[in-house]
């Protein structure tokens, strides 16, 4: 029952969103074009890159890639402890 209600709510939201897009397109006004400098950029954050068995291998790869990075020790999905390389971008 709950899934049916959620489906109806999402379907209604999509239908309303679709009519708004259609109404804007029927206006005849061209959508503005933005350059890369005028748009809002997504804030940078830490992204997982790869896992390594040794800290030395993690640091070597981070140095080779350049930029800001960190190596963090923790348990992987397989239950084994590894070094994880995270990059900032």
Q: What is the pLDDT of residues 58-68, one digit of tens each?
A: 999 999 999 99
28-56 pLDDT tens trace: 555 556 555 555 677 899 999 999 999 99
Structure confidence at residue 50 (pLDDT): 97
Q: Give the pLDDT band of residue 69 (cuts 50, 70, 90).
A: very high
- The span from the CA of 84 to the CA of 82, in Å, is 6
CB atoms within 10 A of CB 3: 7
Structure confidence at residue 42 (pLDDT): 77
- The span from the CA of 74 to the CA of 58, in Å, is 13
DSSP code at position 65: H
Residue ranges covered by each domain of the chain:
2-26+44-88
- The span from the CA of 58 to the CA of 41, in Å, is 29
């Amino acid at each position: 029952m709950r899934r049916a209600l959620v489906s109806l709510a999402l379907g209604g939201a999509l239908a309303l969103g679709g009519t708004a897009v259609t109404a804007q397109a029927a206006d005849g006004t061209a959508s503005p074009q933005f350059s890369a400098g005028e748009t809002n950029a997504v804030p940078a954050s830490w992204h997982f890159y790869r896992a390594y068995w040794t800290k030395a291998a993690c640091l070597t790869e981070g140095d080779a890639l350049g930029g800001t990075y960190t190596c963090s020790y923790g348990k992987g999905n397989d239950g084994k402890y590894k070094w994880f390389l995270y990059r900032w971008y």
